A and B are shown apart, each in its own frame.
Chain A
Amino acid sequence: MDFELFTNILFATLRTGTPLILIALGEMVCEKSGVLNLGQEGMVLMGAALGFIAAVVTGHAGLGIIAAILAGMMMSVLFAFLAVTLVSNQVATGLALTIFGTGLSGFLGAGYVGMAIDGIAPFPIPLLSDIPFIGKVLFSHDPLVYLSWVMFALIFWCFRSTRLGLTIRAVGENPEAANAIGIPVMKVRYGAILFGGAMAGLAGAYLSLVYTPMWSEGMSAGRGWIALALVVFASWKAERILLGAYLFGAASIMHLVLQGLGFEASPNLLAMLPYGATIIVLVIIASDAAKAKLSTPLALGKPYRPQV
Protein backbone atom coordinates (compact mmCIF):
# COMPACT_ATOMS: atom_id res chain seq x y z
CA MET A 1 0.00 0.00 0.00
CA ASP A 2 1.64 3.26 -1.01
CA PHE A 3 1.63 6.42 0.99
CA GLU A 4 -0.85 8.28 -1.16
CA LEU A 5 -3.38 5.52 -0.83
CA PHE A 6 -2.94 5.62 2.93
CA THR A 7 -3.52 9.37 2.96
CA ASN A 8 -6.63 8.94 0.88
CA ILE A 9 -7.95 6.23 3.15
CA LEU A 10 -7.63 8.47 6.19
CA PHE A 11 -9.20 11.36 4.30
CA ALA A 12 -12.16 9.18 3.30
CA THR A 13 -12.44 7.81 6.82
CA LEU A 14 -13.12 11.26 8.23
CA ARG A 15 -15.70 11.93 5.52
CA THR A 16 -17.48 8.65 6.13
CA GLY A 17 -17.52 9.12 9.88
CA THR A 18 -18.96 12.64 9.76
CA PRO A 19 -22.68 11.88 9.28
CA LEU A 20 -22.48 9.31 12.08
CA ILE A 21 -20.90 11.84 14.40
CA LEU A 22 -23.62 14.38 13.68
CA ILE A 23 -26.48 11.93 14.22
CA ALA A 24 -24.95 10.28 17.26
CA LEU A 25 -24.05 13.54 19.01
CA GLY A 26 -27.60 14.79 18.51
CA GLU A 27 -29.06 11.55 19.80
CA MET A 28 -26.67 11.57 22.75
CA VAL A 29 -27.89 14.98 23.88
CA CYS A 30 -31.46 13.78 23.45
CA GLU A 31 -30.84 10.60 25.45
CA LYS A 32 -28.95 12.48 28.15
CA SER A 33 -32.22 14.29 28.84
CA GLY A 34 -33.90 10.91 29.27
CA VAL A 35 -35.63 10.72 25.89
CA LEU A 36 -34.99 7.76 23.59
CA ASN A 37 -35.73 8.88 20.02
CA LEU A 38 -35.61 5.93 17.64
CA GLY A 39 -36.68 8.18 14.79
CA GLN A 40 -33.14 9.10 13.72
CA GLU A 41 -33.28 7.22 10.43
CA GLY A 42 -36.51 8.96 9.46
CA MET A 43 -35.20 12.39 10.41
CA VAL A 44 -31.96 11.85 8.48
CA LEU A 45 -33.87 10.83 5.37
CA MET A 46 -36.21 13.82 5.61
CA GLY A 47 -33.19 16.08 6.00
CA ALA A 48 -31.50 14.50 3.01
CA ALA A 49 -34.58 14.70 0.79
CA LEU A 50 -35.69 18.22 1.68
CA GLY A 51 -32.10 19.50 1.68
CA PHE A 52 -31.58 18.15 -1.81
CA ILE A 53 -34.91 19.46 -3.08
CA ALA A 54 -34.22 22.92 -1.67
CA ALA A 55 -30.78 22.94 -3.22
CA VAL A 56 -32.20 21.97 -6.63
CA VAL A 57 -35.06 24.44 -6.48
CA THR A 58 -33.05 27.42 -5.26
CA GLY A 59 -29.81 26.43 -6.92
CA HIS A 60 -28.08 27.12 -3.66
CA ALA A 61 -26.50 24.33 -1.61
CA GLY A 62 -26.29 26.51 1.52
CA LEU A 63 -30.06 26.94 1.52
CA GLY A 64 -30.31 23.19 1.14
CA ILE A 65 -28.47 22.76 4.43
CA ILE A 66 -30.80 25.13 6.22
CA ALA A 67 -33.82 23.35 4.76
CA ALA A 68 -32.42 20.01 5.92
CA ILE A 69 -31.93 21.27 9.47
CA LEU A 70 -35.47 22.62 9.52
CA ALA A 71 -36.82 19.33 8.17
CA GLY A 72 -35.08 17.41 10.95
CA MET A 73 -36.45 19.80 13.53
CA MET A 74 -39.99 19.55 12.15
CA MET A 75 -39.82 15.80 12.50
CA SER A 76 -38.49 16.04 16.02
CA VAL A 77 -41.18 18.51 17.05
CA LEU A 78 -43.71 15.92 16.00
CA PHE A 79 -41.89 13.36 18.13
CA ALA A 80 -41.57 15.72 21.09
CA PHE A 81 -45.25 16.60 20.98
CA LEU A 82 -46.25 12.94 21.04
CA ALA A 83 -43.62 11.61 23.44
CA VAL A 84 -43.25 14.54 25.84
CA THR A 85 -46.50 16.48 25.78
CA LEU A 86 -48.83 13.55 25.21
CA VAL A 87 -46.54 11.15 27.14
CA SER A 88 -46.76 8.41 24.52
CA ASN A 89 -44.44 5.41 24.51
CA GLN A 90 -41.08 6.66 23.30
CA VAL A 91 -40.01 3.45 21.58
CA ALA A 92 -43.19 3.06 19.59
CA THR A 93 -43.32 6.75 18.70
CA GLY A 94 -39.70 6.74 17.53
CA LEU A 95 -40.22 3.68 15.37
CA ALA A 96 -43.29 5.29 13.85
CA LEU A 97 -41.27 8.40 13.13
CA THR A 98 -38.67 6.39 11.24
CA ILE A 99 -41.28 4.62 9.14
CA PHE A 100 -43.08 7.90 8.52
CA GLY A 101 -39.88 9.73 7.56
CA THR A 102 -38.73 6.94 5.27
CA GLY A 103 -42.01 6.93 3.40
CA LEU A 104 -42.51 10.66 3.25
CA SER A 105 -38.96 11.37 2.06
CA GLY A 106 -39.37 8.77 -0.71
CA PHE A 107 -42.65 10.37 -1.75
CA LEU A 108 -41.36 13.95 -1.76
CA GLY A 109 -38.08 13.07 -3.42
CA ALA A 110 -39.58 10.84 -6.13
CA GLY A 111 -39.30 13.52 -8.82
CA TYR A 112 -35.68 14.30 -7.94
CA VAL A 113 -34.11 10.86 -8.23
CA GLY A 114 -31.19 10.87 -10.66
CA MET A 115 -30.77 14.64 -10.73
CA ALA A 116 -27.29 16.00 -10.19
CA ILE A 117 -26.18 19.14 -8.40
CA ASP A 118 -22.86 20.69 -7.64
CA GLY A 119 -22.99 20.03 -3.93
CA ILE A 120 -20.86 21.81 -1.42
CA ALA A 121 -17.30 22.42 -2.45
CA PRO A 122 -14.39 21.43 -0.23
CA PHE A 123 -12.88 24.27 1.69
CA PRO A 124 -9.19 23.65 2.30
CA ILE A 125 -8.13 25.75 5.24
CA PRO A 126 -5.45 28.20 4.07
CA LEU A 127 -1.90 27.46 5.24
CA LEU A 128 -2.92 24.44 7.35
CA SER A 129 -3.95 22.45 4.29
CA ASP A 130 -0.48 22.94 2.81
CA ILE A 131 1.13 20.84 5.53
CA PRO A 132 2.14 17.54 3.95
CA PHE A 133 0.01 14.52 4.88
CA ILE A 134 -1.80 16.16 7.84
CA GLY A 135 -3.01 19.01 5.63
CA LYS A 136 -4.58 16.57 3.21
CA VAL A 137 -6.07 14.29 5.89
CA LEU A 138 -7.41 16.90 8.29
CA PHE A 139 -7.70 20.30 6.63
CA SER A 140 -8.87 19.79 3.05
CA HIS A 141 -12.46 18.91 3.85
CA ASP A 142 -15.79 20.52 3.23
CA PRO A 143 -17.20 22.92 5.85
CA LEU A 144 -19.55 20.32 7.39
CA VAL A 145 -16.64 18.16 8.51
CA TYR A 146 -15.18 21.11 10.38
CA LEU A 147 -18.62 21.87 11.74
CA SER A 148 -18.87 18.33 13.15
CA TRP A 149 -15.64 18.99 15.09
CA VAL A 150 -17.00 22.25 16.41
CA MET A 151 -20.19 20.52 17.50
CA PHE A 152 -18.18 17.79 19.18
CA ALA A 153 -16.10 20.33 21.09
CA LEU A 154 -19.19 22.29 22.12
CA ILE A 155 -21.04 19.25 23.37
CA PHE A 156 -18.01 17.85 25.13
CA TRP A 157 -17.49 21.15 26.91
CA CYS A 158 -21.20 21.56 27.62
CA PHE A 159 -21.45 18.29 29.52
CA ARG A 160 -18.10 18.70 31.18
CA SER A 161 -18.35 22.15 32.62
CA THR A 162 -21.54 24.06 32.02
CA ARG A 163 -24.72 24.43 33.95
CA LEU A 164 -26.72 23.60 30.83
CA GLY A 165 -25.01 20.20 30.63
CA LEU A 166 -25.64 19.62 34.30
CA THR A 167 -29.30 20.51 33.86
CA ILE A 168 -29.73 18.10 30.96
CA ARG A 169 -28.05 15.30 32.91
CA ALA A 170 -30.24 16.01 35.93
CA VAL A 171 -33.41 15.79 33.85
CA GLY A 172 -32.24 12.53 32.32
CA GLU A 173 -31.38 11.00 35.64
CA ASN A 174 -34.37 11.93 37.73
CA PRO A 175 -37.04 14.16 36.15
CA GLU A 176 -39.20 14.20 39.29
CA ALA A 177 -36.33 15.53 41.38
CA ALA A 178 -35.38 17.99 38.66
CA ASN A 179 -38.91 19.32 38.66
CA ALA A 180 -38.86 19.59 42.43
CA ILE A 181 -35.84 21.89 42.37
CA GLY A 182 -37.45 24.03 39.71
CA ILE A 183 -35.90 22.80 36.46
CA PRO A 184 -38.44 23.06 33.62
CA VAL A 185 -38.27 19.36 32.66
CA MET A 186 -40.55 19.60 29.63
CA LYS A 187 -38.67 22.53 28.14
CA VAL A 188 -35.30 20.86 28.61
CA ARG A 189 -36.56 17.70 26.94
CA TYR A 190 -38.13 19.63 24.06
CA GLY A 191 -34.86 21.47 23.58
CA ALA A 192 -32.79 18.30 23.60
CA ILE A 193 -35.13 16.57 21.14
CA LEU A 194 -35.09 19.57 18.80
CA PHE A 195 -31.31 19.67 18.94
CA GLY A 196 -31.22 15.97 18.07
CA GLY A 197 -33.57 16.63 15.15
CA ALA A 198 -31.45 19.49 13.85
CA MET A 199 -28.31 17.36 13.99
CA ALA A 200 -30.02 14.48 12.20
CA GLY A 201 -31.26 16.87 9.52
CA LEU A 202 -27.75 18.23 9.13
CA ALA A 203 -26.43 14.70 8.73
CA GLY A 204 -29.03 14.19 6.03
CA ALA A 205 -27.80 17.29 4.24
CA TYR A 206 -24.27 15.95 4.46
CA LEU A 207 -25.33 12.77 2.71
CA SER A 208 -27.33 14.32 -0.13
CA LEU A 209 -25.31 17.52 -0.67
CA VAL A 210 -21.74 16.56 0.15
CA TYR A 211 -21.00 12.89 0.47
CA THR A 212 -22.82 11.84 -2.68
CA PRO A 213 -24.52 14.93 -4.16
CA MET A 214 -27.74 13.23 -5.26
CA TRP A 215 -30.96 11.90 -3.86
CA SER A 216 -32.03 8.29 -3.84
CA GLU A 217 -34.68 6.66 -1.73
CA GLY A 218 -33.43 5.27 1.56
CA MET A 219 -29.96 6.71 0.91
CA SER A 220 -29.08 6.90 4.62
CA ALA A 221 -28.61 3.11 4.46
CA GLY A 222 -29.18 2.48 8.16
CA ARG A 223 -26.81 5.17 9.44
CA GLY A 224 -29.51 6.36 11.85
CA TRP A 225 -29.58 2.92 13.43
CA ILE A 226 -25.80 2.64 13.58
CA ALA A 227 -25.66 6.02 15.30
CA LEU A 228 -28.23 4.86 17.87
CA ALA A 229 -26.13 1.82 18.67
CA LEU A 230 -23.03 3.98 18.73
CA VAL A 231 -24.49 6.18 21.47
CA VAL A 232 -25.14 3.20 23.71
CA PHE A 233 -21.82 1.47 23.06
CA ALA A 234 -20.04 4.79 23.57
CA SER A 235 -21.63 4.98 27.05
CA TRP A 236 -23.08 8.43 26.26
CA LYS A 237 -19.62 9.97 26.02
CA ALA A 238 -18.91 12.40 23.18
CA GLU A 239 -15.24 11.44 22.80
CA ARG A 240 -16.11 7.79 22.41
CA ILE A 241 -18.74 8.64 19.81
CA LEU A 242 -16.03 10.41 17.81
CA LEU A 243 -13.77 7.39 18.13
CA GLY A 244 -16.53 4.93 17.24
CA ALA A 245 -17.73 6.93 14.24
CA TYR A 246 -14.22 7.14 12.76
CA LEU A 247 -13.62 3.49 13.46
CA PHE A 248 -16.78 2.73 11.56
CA GLY A 249 -15.66 5.07 8.77
CA ALA A 250 -12.24 3.41 8.58
CA ALA A 251 -13.72 -0.08 8.46
CA SER A 252 -16.19 0.98 5.74
CA ILE A 253 -13.38 2.33 3.63
CA MET A 254 -11.20 -0.69 4.32
CA HIS A 255 -13.80 -3.02 2.96
CA LEU A 256 -13.85 -1.11 -0.32
CA VAL A 257 -10.06 -0.94 -0.45
CA LEU A 258 -9.71 -4.64 0.30
CA GLN A 259 -12.09 -5.48 -2.50
CA GLY A 260 -10.21 -3.14 -4.81
CA LEU A 261 -6.94 -4.86 -3.95
CA GLY A 262 -8.50 -8.16 -4.95
CA PHE A 263 -8.75 -9.57 -1.44
CA GLU A 264 -10.30 -13.03 -1.68
CA ALA A 265 -13.42 -12.97 0.48
CA SER A 266 -17.13 -12.69 0.01
CA PRO A 267 -18.02 -9.00 -0.47
CA ASN A 268 -21.04 -9.55 1.75
CA LEU A 269 -18.82 -10.74 4.54
CA LEU A 270 -16.50 -7.77 4.09
CA ALA A 271 -19.48 -5.42 4.18
CA MET A 272 -20.15 -6.63 7.72
CA LEU A 273 -16.71 -5.52 8.83
CA PRO A 274 -17.57 -1.94 9.86
CA TYR A 275 -20.50 -3.03 12.02
CA GLY A 276 -18.62 -5.83 13.69
CA ALA A 277 -15.41 -3.89 14.29
CA THR A 278 -17.12 -0.83 15.76
CA ILE A 279 -19.30 -2.77 18.12
CA ILE A 280 -16.50 -5.03 19.34
CA VAL A 281 -14.14 -2.13 20.09
CA LEU A 282 -16.74 -0.06 21.89
CA VAL A 283 -18.01 -3.03 23.89
CA ILE A 284 -14.47 -3.68 25.09
CA ILE A 285 -14.04 -0.03 26.09
CA ALA A 286 -17.37 0.01 27.92
CA SER A 287 -16.86 -3.31 29.69
CA ASP A 288 -16.42 -1.72 33.11
CA ALA A 289 -20.04 -2.05 34.18
CA ALA A 290 -19.62 0.07 37.28
CA LYS A 291 -18.31 3.08 35.39
CA ALA A 292 -20.72 2.65 32.51
CA LYS A 293 -23.64 2.89 34.88
CA LEU A 294 -22.52 6.27 36.11
CA SER A 295 -22.85 7.82 32.68
CA THR A 296 -26.11 6.10 31.73
CA PRO A 297 -29.14 8.40 31.91
CA LEU A 298 -31.19 6.50 34.50
CA ALA A 299 -34.56 7.77 33.32
CA LEU A 300 -33.87 6.95 29.66
CA GLY A 301 -37.05 6.02 27.84
CA LYS A 302 -39.26 6.51 30.88
CA PRO A 303 -42.12 8.88 30.22
CA TYR A 304 -42.43 11.73 32.67
CA ARG A 305 -45.82 13.00 33.75
CA PRO A 306 -45.84 16.23 35.72
CA GLN A 307 -48.01 16.16 38.84
CA VAL A 308 -51.10 18.31 38.91
Chain B
Amino acid sequence: MSDWPLWEVFVRAKGGLSHRHVGSVHAPDREMALNHARDTYTRRLEGVSLWVVKSSDIVASDPDQSGPTFEPAADKVYRHPTFYEIPDEVKHI
Protein backbone atom coordinates (compact mmCIF):
# COMPACT_ATOMS: atom_id res chain seq x y z
CA MET B 1 0.00 0.00 0.00
CA SER B 2 1.86 2.95 -1.29
CA ASP B 3 1.64 6.68 -1.16
CA TRP B 4 2.48 8.91 -4.13
CA PRO B 5 5.66 10.97 -4.48
CA LEU B 6 5.86 14.42 -2.96
CA TRP B 7 5.65 17.66 -4.97
CA GLU B 8 6.41 21.18 -3.85
CA VAL B 9 3.77 23.78 -4.66
CA PHE B 10 4.39 27.40 -5.62
CA VAL B 11 1.62 29.97 -6.02
CA ARG B 12 1.64 33.36 -7.72
CA ALA B 13 -0.80 35.32 -5.57
CA LYS B 14 -1.46 37.94 -8.22
CA GLY B 15 -0.01 39.28 -11.44
CA GLY B 16 3.36 40.96 -10.96
CA LEU B 17 4.41 38.88 -7.95
CA SER B 18 6.82 35.93 -7.90
CA HIS B 19 5.68 32.41 -7.26
CA ARG B 20 6.05 31.60 -3.58
CA HIS B 21 6.42 28.23 -1.91
CA VAL B 22 3.22 27.37 -0.05
CA GLY B 23 3.55 23.69 0.81
CA SER B 24 3.44 20.27 -0.78
CA VAL B 25 1.10 17.57 -2.07
CA HIS B 26 1.39 13.91 -2.93
CA ALA B 27 0.54 13.02 -6.53
CA PRO B 28 1.28 10.26 -9.01
CA ASP B 29 2.31 12.53 -11.90
CA ARG B 30 2.64 16.11 -13.15
CA GLU B 31 -0.95 16.73 -14.21
CA MET B 32 -2.36 15.25 -11.01
CA ALA B 33 0.15 17.22 -8.97
CA LEU B 34 -1.27 20.38 -10.52
CA ASN B 35 -4.85 19.24 -9.88
CA HIS B 36 -4.01 18.40 -6.28
CA ALA B 37 -2.18 21.69 -5.79
CA ARG B 38 -5.19 23.57 -7.13
CA ASP B 39 -7.63 21.69 -4.92
CA THR B 40 -5.43 22.04 -1.83
CA TYR B 41 -3.83 25.46 -2.00
CA THR B 42 -6.12 27.73 -4.04
CA ARG B 43 -9.50 27.09 -2.44
CA ARG B 44 -9.73 30.66 -1.19
CA LEU B 45 -8.69 32.64 -4.24
CA GLU B 46 -5.06 32.49 -3.16
CA GLY B 47 -3.55 32.45 -6.62
CA VAL B 48 -3.52 33.14 -10.33
CA SER B 49 -0.76 30.71 -11.27
CA LEU B 50 0.64 27.46 -9.93
CA TRP B 51 3.96 25.66 -10.22
CA VAL B 52 4.62 22.14 -9.01
CA VAL B 53 8.07 20.61 -8.78
CA LYS B 54 8.88 17.09 -7.71
CA SER B 55 10.47 17.48 -4.27
CA SER B 56 13.27 15.08 -5.17
CA ASP B 57 14.24 17.37 -8.08
CA ILE B 58 14.98 20.30 -5.82
CA VAL B 59 18.65 20.90 -5.17
CA ALA B 60 19.18 22.61 -1.84
CA SER B 61 22.23 24.18 -0.29
CA ASP B 62 23.69 22.39 2.71
CA PRO B 63 23.16 24.30 5.97
CA ASP B 64 26.40 22.83 7.35
CA GLN B 65 28.14 24.58 4.50
CA SER B 66 26.35 27.86 5.09
CA GLY B 67 29.66 29.42 6.12
CA PRO B 68 31.41 28.87 2.78
CA THR B 69 28.15 29.34 0.89
CA PHE B 70 26.92 32.62 2.28
CA GLU B 71 29.51 34.32 4.45
CA PRO B 72 31.84 35.37 1.64
CA ALA B 73 29.08 37.78 0.58
CA ALA B 74 29.26 39.52 3.96
CA ASP B 75 32.35 41.61 3.27
CA LYS B 76 31.46 42.71 -0.26
CA VAL B 77 30.08 45.97 1.02
CA TYR B 78 30.93 47.69 -2.24
CA ARG B 79 27.98 45.84 -3.80
CA HIS B 80 25.56 48.03 -1.85
CA PRO B 81 24.65 51.61 -2.77
CA THR B 82 25.19 52.92 0.77
CA PHE B 83 28.91 52.12 0.44
CA TYR B 84 29.43 55.18 -1.73
CA GLU B 85 29.59 58.68 -0.36
CA ILE B 86 27.98 61.27 -2.59
CA PRO B 87 27.69 64.90 -1.44
CA ASP B 88 24.16 65.84 -0.36
CA GLU B 89 23.96 68.58 -2.99
CA VAL B 90 24.07 66.05 -5.78
CA LYS B 91 20.52 64.87 -6.55
CA HIS B 92 18.97 61.98 -8.41
CA ILE B 93 21.74 59.51 -7.85
Question: Is this pair of chains taken from one and the same complex?
Answer: no
A-binding residues in B (CB < 8 A): none
B-binding residues in A (CB < 8 A): none
